[in-house]
């Protein structure tokens, strides 16, 4: 499915651990968001653009505001 929107990727630091797992990763019905561990002990959530349909649900439910919907080029 093609979408007019995409999600930017933001680095998420360790102090958000747990809260974001419930708030961000679980609501993606298409499995488009996954967590990637970084060498410094922090992690980031990344979007698989092939799975993301641009619905914006993740951006809407995130209490931290780390997801931003932007129009595709």
Sequence spans of domains, the chain: 5-71
Question: By C-alpha distance, which of 61, 52, 47, 1 is closest to 30?
Answer: 52
Give 71's strand partners. Answer: 5
Tell me the mean pLDDT in the region 36-61.
85
- Cβ 3 vs Cβ 50: under 8 Å: no
Distance (Å) of CA 68 to CA 7, 10, 39, 41, 62? 6, 9, 25, 24, 10
On average, the pLDDT of the chain sits at: 69
CATH of segment(s) 5-71: 3.30.70
User: Is 42's pLDDT higher than 60?
Assistant: yes
Residue 27 pLDDT grade (very low, low, confident, very high; cuts 50, 70, 90): low
């Amino acid at each position: 499915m093609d979408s007019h929107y995409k999600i930017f990727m933001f680095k998420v630091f360790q102090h958000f651990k747990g809260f974001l797992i419930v708030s961000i990763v679980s609501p993606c019905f298409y499995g488009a968001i996954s967590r990637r561990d970084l060498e410094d002990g922090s992690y980031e959530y990344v979007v698989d653009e092939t799975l993301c349909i641009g619905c914006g649900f993740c951006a809407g439910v995130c209490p931290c505001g780390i997801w931003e919907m932007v129009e595709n080029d």
